[in-house]
Structures are given as C-alpha cells and as structure tokens.
Amino acid sequence: MDGLEVAPEQRKAGKYDSGLEVVPHMEKEVRRDTAGLHYVSGPTSANPGIIEDGSPEPKSPKERKRICGVTSTIFWLLVVGIAIVVIGGAVGGGVGGSMANRKTPAKPSNPDLNATSTTSSTDTTTASTTSSGPVTTGTVGLAGNPCPRSNLTTEAGSDGSIFKLLCAVDWPSGGEAASGNGKVQDLSIETEYTLKACIRQCSDWNKDESNNQKCKGVVYSANLTASFGGGQGGNCFLKSKVGKYFPNADTSVAAGIIG
C-alpha cells in the first residue's frame, strides 16, 4: 500500500556506545585528519615522575661527596683517630716524664748536718777491690772506707762530740763556710787509715788548750794514692768550719760536729 513509511527511531549514541567520545577542552593541541577525526595531544603523563604502571619513576643515585679520594664519613673518622693517637702520645709522654722526675730526687745544695740521724756508724771499714783488704800502712792503696753505707749516720768523738757523716763530700780549704760566715781552713793534715781515727784527731785537737781555734769537722780520703800523689801530704784534714756542699769521689767522706 502506497503511503508514508514510518522509519524506526534512531537511538542516540550513549555514553557507553562505541564510537567517538567528546573530550573536554584541556587546552591541548587538536589536529584534524582527512576523515575529520580529532586527535588530542594531551600531557605525556598525568603525574610527572609516575610511569605508566603507577610505580614511582626511579631516581638516579646521587654521587656521595668525597674528600682526598675517600667519602667524607671515612675522612673525618680518620682525622678523629689521628687526633686521639697524637693527644694520647703527648699525655703519655708528659705523665712518663713527670714520673721519671719524681723518682730521681735532686741532690741538696748543702746537706743538713743538723738533721736527726737514725743510726750510728761502727768502726768497720769497707775492703778495697784487692784481695788483701784495706791497707793499714804506707801511702799507696785504699785504706778503710765507710761509704756509702754510713752516709748520713753519726760517729762519736773521743771527747763526746757527735759528728755527722756525709759520703762523697769535700770541704776544700778556702771554700765558703756552710753558715755563710768566713772561709774553711785546714787546721792540720794527718795520715790515718780509718775515719774513726781521723775523727779522733779532731777531738784531740779540741782537747789541747794551746790551740786557739776549734776543730769543727774533718774530711777523710780512703784513697791514699790520690792524696799523696797529689802532694797533699796526708789524707785526714782537720777543718776550722763546716763547709758548703762540694762533691768529691766516693772514697771521700766529710764529718762535721753537730753536738
């Protein structure tokens, strides 16, 4: 039958129908091809630093700062270690030096004859290095020597006076007196073979009233060879005063009256 034909209504393209989809304007570059299709050039990535699978884009590792060819951490550890070694050595040396000085007492400039003695010497003598022992006659060899064991001990004179013994000490004639008053003089020079005999000479001198000066001490040398070889004419020297400290050989001993 002739007449109008009702055509079926065409469905509008829905959101999920296949075909082109309107893209919102994002200020992107739009290009048109020959078929009239639109291609939108969007941002290369919605979130810079995120790759397509959603994982963060790996960052290239930073090169660690180096000093003198090593990392800064190792460099400063080395500096601290060296500083500790240097400071430790300096402190150790200082402590060691201080202990050494403490163990080595200085010799007094003038031994004190008035110091209290704890022991008294006896009339024993030290034998010489020869097998014959100390000599008792003549002017050669070593006579009896009480040093060093009798150092700072006392010896009694025949008149009751007390002598303080100082080993390896001399009071030379013309030297200053320990009191600072006057000079030391030799009152007499004798030859004796023990210190005790030399001290007896001093006590006997003081007993003799004809002597106008008192004997205040003696210097005795056990080395007869050195005494007579030096032209001194004896080895027992009676002194007018106790002298100031003067070092001598270990075969010499000075003895001054302290009471």
Q: For position 253, what pLDDT does the model report?
A: 98
Asked whether residue 77 falls in the same domain as residue 185, the answer is no
Residue ranges for the chain with pLDDT beneath 50: 1, 13-17, 104-105, 109, 116-130
SS3 category, 103: helix
Inside any domain, residue 198: yes
Per-residue model confidence (pLDDT) at position 177: 97
Domain count, the chain: 2
Q: 247 lies in which domain range?
A: 109-259
pTM of the model: 0.54
CA distances (Å), origin 249, targets 10, 57, 168, 187, 255: 142, 94, 5, 22, 15
Do 161 and 93 lie in one domain? The reply is no
Tell me if 24 is assigned to some domain: no
